[in-house]
A = this chain, B = another copy of it.
Amino acid sequence: MTPMIDRSPHSETLVKEAAAPVIAVDAMGGDRGPEIVVAGVARALSAIPNLRVLLFGDEMRLTPHLPVELAERAAIRHCDSVITMDEAPVAALRRGRGSSMWRTLDAVSAGEADAAISAGNTGALMTMSLVRLKAAPAVERPAIAALWPSRNAAGYNVVLDVGANLRGEARDLVSAALLGAEYAKIVLDTPKPRVALLNVGVEEHKGRAELHAAAAHLTLLADAPDAPFVFTGFIEGDRIAERDADVIATDGFTGNVALKTAEGAASLIGGYLREALSEGWRARLGALLAAPALAGFKRRVDPRRVNGGVFLGLNGVVVKSHGGADAVGFASAIDLAARLAKRDIAGRVAAQVAKIAFDGESSAADSSSNLTAGSR
């Protein structure tokens, strides 16, 4: 529709500086429109002094929302096509080569940007990332890692996979555990992360057969003298947010449900608290007095504060922002991308995974364990 002529005050090119991270942004992803993405970019540019951004999307819609004073640090690259949220990954891949999502990944692949970020269709983003950036050596299937608020010293645990690979065979679980351990070393600053497998009980016989096979393998790997992690065994859902482990590995289906369920629980509890503190003059006065403390509490439980899942196991950094993220949430995902951009996560992870590659076969499903349920 729009001819590809640069009519904006923004340039299509950026002066690349050695120390300054360049983040490629898919401006058309997300449920709330490109305006929100651009507002998030503006916020991030104001907060991170040396950040530079390449924005991919409909120039006519992006330009009006980007403050002119940020123009020299943000270039807009016009794209005509967009991957929609409900498009199946295979369809997206077939027709999406010129889309904002594809070109965002392309910028990383070409070395123009240090990291890519999109709030778009997760399945399409993962499929395109696999095609454009390829899985890193020794990683069969990448995983999406989330930072999970916890009682750990760092304030977070790493939970993965939260939606990339729904399969969950033993080798997928082991791969997720190793990827998560390398990621945790960097983002949680833990030299030897404690890794656990999410299960319906902590006892050895609990859960699905593939979990038993993965646990046996991780036990062997962690017993090696130079093991880069400690394997703590199985962990149940109610301990994810505790001090028990730094990395909680699971399949992409379970992890995705767990993450969203925790968000839903937080939202319900927040609603209950608001209702309680608005009933009667005593409660309202108390809430008024405690307002600064409650605001701090609200910030602490705000899921937007830790927005951004990271695709681990690719030859490049890809951050997936929440589809419903607002400008604050999107800025937080850009901040995460900028922090990871220069750390060569993919390289480190690949090196580690190659060193202790998974050579076991995923055990055949043992249907006799299907009735081995959780201890509650």
- Contact code string A270-307 (vs B, CB < 8 Å = 1, else 0): 01110111011011011111111110110011000000
Does any Cβ of B come within 8 Å of A89's Cβ? yes
- Among A3-11, A220-228, A261-269, the stretch in contact with B: A261-269
Q: Is A166 an interface residue (CB 8 A)?
A: yes
Instruction: Determine if A320 is an interface residue (Cβ-Cβ < 8 Å).
Output: yes
Interface size class of A (residues with CB under 8 A): 35 or more
Given contacts A164-B373, A373-B144, contact A264 B262 (CB under 8 A): yes
Chain B minimum-CB-distance residue to A320: B376
**Bound CA span A123–B320, Å:** 38
A80 at interface, CB cutoff 8 A: no
A123-B206, A371-B89 in contact; A236/B260 too (CB < 8 A)?
yes
Given known pairs A370-B167, A375-B122, the reply for A258 and B286 (CB within 8 Å) is no
Determine if A50 is an interface residue (Cβ-Cβ < 8 Å): no
A252 with B293: CB separation less than 8 A:
no
Q: What's the Cα separation between A198 and B238 when bound, in Å?
A: 19
The residues in A between 322 and 357 inclusive whose CB is less than 8 angstroms from any CB of B are: 322-324
Q: Is A282 a contact partner of B289 (Cβ separation < 8 A)?
A: yes
Q: Please give, as numbers and ranges, the residues of chain B lying within 8 Å of A271 by CB-CB distance.
A: 151
Q: Which of B122, B198, B264, B266 contacts A257 (CB 8 A)?
A: B198
Question: What residues of chain B lie closer than 8 Å to A287, measured between beta carbons?
Answer: 286, 290
Give the shortest distance, in Å, between A256 (CB) and chain B (any CB).
Answer: 4
A126 — which chain B residues lie within 8 A by C-beta?
A: 371, 373
Q: Which of A40-48, A69-77, A97-105, A239-247 contacts B (4 or more CB under 8 A)?
A: A239-247
Query: Are A253 and B293 neighbours in the complex by a CB distance under 8 Å?
Result: no
Would A237 and B254 be within 8 Å (CB), given that A166-B372, A292-B283, A301-B269 are in contact? no
When distances are taken between beta carbons in the complex, the residues of chain B under 8 Å from A163 are 200, 373-374, 376
User: Which of chain A's residues 360-376 have a Cβ closer than 8 Å to chain B?
Assistant: 367-376
Set of chain B residues within 8 Å of A253, measured between Cβ atoms:
200, 207-208, 254
Interfacial chain B residues near A370, Cβ < 8 Å? 165-167
Chain B residue contacts of A88, Cβ below 8 A: 205, 372
Is A150 interfacial (CB-CB < 8 Å)?
Answer: yes
The answer on a CB contact under 8 Å between A371 and B165 is: yes
A260 touching B373 by the CB < 8 A rule? no
CB distance from A252 to the nearest CB of B (A): 6
Complex Cα spacing A285 to B164, Å: 47
Give 5 nearest A-B pairs by CB, closest first: A286-B290, A237-B260, A286-B289, A237-B261, A283-B293
Residues of A in contact with B (beta carbons under 8 Å apart):
85-86, 88-90, 121-123, 126-127, 130, 144, 149-151, 162-167, 198, 200-201, 203, 205-208, 236-242, 250, 252-254, 256-269, 271-273, 275-277, 279-280, 282-283, 285-294, 296-297, 300-301, 309, 320, 322-324, 367-376
Given contacts A237-B263, A241-B267, A250-B257, 8 further A-B contacts (CB under 8 A): A122-B373, A237-B260, A261-B265, A275-B297, A276-B296, A285-B286, A286-B289, A320-B376
